[in-house]
Chains A and B, each alone.
Chain A
Amino acid sequence: MLLVAIAIVFLAACFAGLFWRLASRFDAQQCTAEWLDRFSVKSYAPMERLLDSNDLAFLASQPGYRPEIGKRLMAERRKIFRAYLRLLVRDFNQLIGIGKLMVVYSNLDQHEFARSLGRQQVQFYARICALQVQLALHPLGWTSVDARDLLAALGDMRTKVRQMTSAGPALAQWA
């Protein structure tokens, strides 16, 4: 009976959360053409080098180097990397949002595209989680923090959204 009560409370909480989200829907007004024109995966290129151990090795070879300097440098770089990561997730979500808008308002059934969007989203978030774990282990000596997969996923998403536009007619007429 206790398990049933817990399940009911959990379901009620799920419903409450869903209805709150339904009442505060996705902001289509943020998905502007200007944003899409400005968007470029290249702006995230610095992420590929930020945590590169070669920089630390070079610094260590310099006279007057102390380990504290290296630690402080990498801590600051991790902070910058995390900031980039937040922006990257935001931009990815924005692209997903545009993709979903196109699915909803398309004249043709976009089942394959919708499925691909969902798959990419799951894979992207899984990579983000893995990267966060790697970042957490970085101070302990974990050196292979690699953002290239994520940047490739972002580029893929941008390409898919483009392909969707080129594959079919323009967006649905609003009834």
Chain B
Amino acid sequence: MHQLPIEQQILLVVEIAALAILCLRIWLIGLHRVYVYFFGFLVLELLQALIPVLVPLESRLYRDSYVASEAFILAFFALVVLELYSKVLRDLPGIAGTARRYIKATLALAIVVALLLLGLGKAQATVTGYLSSFEQTVMSSLVVFVLLVSAFLVYYPVPLARNVIVYLMGYAVFFLTNATVFLTIDLGHYWNRQLGSIIMGVEAVCFIFWLLALSRQGEYKRVVVGHQWNPADEQKLRAQLDAINASLLRAIRK
């Protein structure tokens, strides 16, 4: 750890503290059962953050540990995003077919965009160089995926728990920053210290944001028209939808 630049040492301490408290909080409020892959991702991030503390930076062990943990984390990124959207769209049969088709198209487009960006890069022929290219591809595809599926959620009035919006905002910032940094490296700009500090800083901010904004109540609070959803609103909406239904049926029978 003493080999990291001073600002990265500070950021590493902040990141480890934020991650540890976030994992504990998620565990205590029971969200680890709801968002299993997200919790797994946080635990992996915490373990990876501890590597520079325990292993010398210049050693081969550090490189191998980092590469192995990063590969797992990349897999968890994809799982985390799919987990979130499957929860959002799970109990809405009316929109299931549309969502399925849209997500397939979105995935395909995300992969195409990511592969196009890959073509721009000049990857170094090293393990970390290839990892960087792979990360950039995965992150870019996730950015496009999160953007397009968020647009879907804006277009259709799908009831969203407050926690979902908090997750989405965190993911968007997280993936966009990582994609930008890895693309920059891939384009041949090896500003390692500055880019490393940016990634660590943004990640720490995301973890702190999730720590402050996620709550048990956030699973039940539905966001509608910028105010908090409550059971009285829910009953009113049901009554309105039933009344609209009845009104249309009356019109047909005339």
Same complex origin of A and B: yes
Q: Is the CB of A165 within 8 A of B249?
A: yes
Q: Are A165 and B147 in contact (CB under 8 A)?
A: no
Q: How many angstroms between the C-alpha atoms of A108 and B244 in the bound complex?
A: 18
Q: Name B's interface SS.
A: helix
Interface of chain B residues 127 through 185 with chain A (CB within 8 A): 143, 147, 150-151, 153-160, 165, 168-169, 172-173, 176, 180, 183-184
Could you tell me the distance in whole angstroms from the C-beta of B112 to the nearest C-beta in chain A? 15
Q: Within the assembled complex, what's the spacing in Å between the Cα atoms of A72 and B223?
A: 49
| Pair B245/A172 contact, Cβ less than 8 Å | no
With A11-B143, A15-B147, A101-B157 known as contacts, the answer to whether A114 contacts B95 (CB < 8 A) is yes
B246 to chain A, nearest CB (A): 7
Closest chain A residue, CB of each to CB of B155: A100
Interface residue B236 (Cβ < 8 Å from any Cβ of A)? yes
A128-162 with Cβ < 8 A to chain B:
161-162
Q: Residues of A within 8 Å of B, CB-based: how many?
A: 48
Identify which of B94, B151, B183, B252 contacts A162 (C-beta below 8 A): B252
Residues in A whose Cβ lies below 8 Å from that of B157: 25-26, 28, 97, 100-101, 104
The interface residues of chain A lying within 8 Å CB-to-CB of B91 are: 175
B window 8-43: CB within 8 A of A: none
Q: From residue 226 to 254 of chain B, which have CB atoms closer than 8 A to chain A?
A: 226, 234, 236-238, 240-249, 251-252
Asked whether A4 lies within 8 Å of B224 as measured between CB atoms, the reply is no
CB of B98 within 8 Å of the partner chain? yes
Q: Are B97 and A111 closer than 8 Å at their CB atoms?
A: yes
Q: Are A110 and B95 in contact (CB under 8 A)?
A: yes
Which of B155, B236, B246 neighbours the largest number of chain A CB atoms within 10 Å of its CB?
B155
- Which residues of chain B come closer than 8 Å to A172, judged between CB atoms? 92-94
Indicate which residue in A33, A103, A111, A166 contacts B101 across the interface (CB closer than 8 Å).
A111
Does A107 count as interface, using CB distance less than 8 angstroms? yes
Residues A1-38 near B (CB distance < 8 A) = 1, 4, 8, 11-12, 14-15, 18-19, 21-29, 31-33, 36-37
A174 at the interface (CB under 8 A from B): yes
- Most chain B CB within 10 A, of A11, A25, A28, is at A25
**Residue B189, interface by CB 8 Å:** yes
* CB of B145 to closest CB in A, whole Å: 12
CA distance A115 to B95 in the complex (A): 11
User: A170 is contacted by which of B225, B237, B245 (Cβ under 8 Å)?
Assistant: B245
Contact between chains at B98 and A110 (CB < 8 Å): yes
When distances are taken between beta carbons in the complex, the residues of chain A under 8 Å from B97 are: 109-111, 114
Select one of B172, B180, B234 contacting A174, CB under 8 A: B234
Give every chain A residue within 8 A of B245 (Cβ-Cβ).
165, 170-171
B253 to chain A, nearest CB (A): 9
B150 touches A19 (CB 8 A): yes
Closest chain B residue to A18 by CB distance?
Answer: B150
- Whether the Cβ atoms of B246 and A104 lie closer than 8 Å is no
Which chain B residue lies CB-closest to A112?
A: B97
Answer whether residue B50 sits at the interface, using C-beta atoms and an 8 A cutoff. Answer: no
Taking a contact as CB atoms under 8 Å apart, the answer to whether A37 and B225 are in contact is no
Chain A to chain B contacts (Cβ below 8 Å), 5 pairs:
A4-B183, A23-B226, A28-B157, A100-B156, A114-B95
- 11 other contacts beyond A22-B150, A107-B94, with CB at 8 A cut-off? A15-B150, A28-B241, A33-B246, A102-B244, A105-B94, A111-B98, A111-B101, A114-B95, A162-B248, A170-B242, A175-B91
Interface residues of B (CB under 8 A from A): 91-98, 101, 143, 147, 150-151, 153-160, 165, 168-169, 172-173, 176, 180, 183-184, 187, 189, 223-226, 234, 236-238, 240-249, 251-252
